[in-house]
Structure 1
C-alpha cells in the first residue's frame, strides 16, 4: 500500500468519525428539545430518578453549546430557536466537510 493511499484512508476515517460525532450530537439536541417540551408540559414525572438523570445529562451536554447562542439571538418571548441554529450549523459543517474539504485530501 502506498503512502498516499494510507493517507487517504486515514483522512476518510477521520472525516467519518467527525461526521458520526456531529450526527450523534444532532440526535442529542433533538432529544434534549423533546425532553424539555415534555418536562415543560408536565408529561413526564420529574421526580423519577431516571428522568431526572436523563434531563441532567441532556442539559449538561447541550447547554455549553446553546448558552452562548442564546446571548446572541434576540428574545422571541419564550421560544428558544438556539437548537435550530445549532442544527443548521452542524448541517453546514457536515456539508462543507464532505463537499469542500474531503475532496482536497482524496
Structure 2
C-alpha cells in the first residue's frame, strides 16, 4: 500500500516539475520576445500553469527576494523550486523502489 502511495506521489511531483519546466519556457519567451502575447488556448494553458506553480514560487520570493545585479534582478526562486522538486522525486523514487 505504501509503495502505491509513493508511486502516486512520485508522479504528482513529476507532473508538477513538468509544469515548472513549462513556466520556465514561457518566462524565457516573454523575456526575449517582449511583444509576444499568447492567444486562444495558449492563454488558458499558460494561466493554468502559472496558477498551479505560483504558490511555492511566491512563498520562496518572500524569503529570498530577487538579487539586484546592477540594472537587472536575478530571480532564483523558480530554479530553487525545480531543484527541490527533483530532490523530492529522487527521495520518493528511492523509497518507492524506482
TM (norm. structure 2) is: 0.77
- Name the SS for the 1:46 alignment partner: coil
Counterpart of 2:80 in structure 1 is 85
Greater fraction of residues in helix:
1
Larger RCO of the pair (alpha carbons < 8 Å, separation 6+): 2
Unaligned runs of 5+ in 2: none
Question: Equivalents in 1 of 2:57, 2:11: separation in Å?
Answer: 20
Contact 1:45 1:51 in 2 (8 A): no
The alignment of Structure 1 onto Structure 2 pairs a total of residues equal to 93
Structure having the higher Rg = 1
Unaligned runs of 5+ in 1: 1-9
- Name the SS for the 2:74 alignment partner: coil
- In structure 2, the CA distance between the partners of 1:47 and 1:24, relative to structure 1 (3 Å rule), is closer
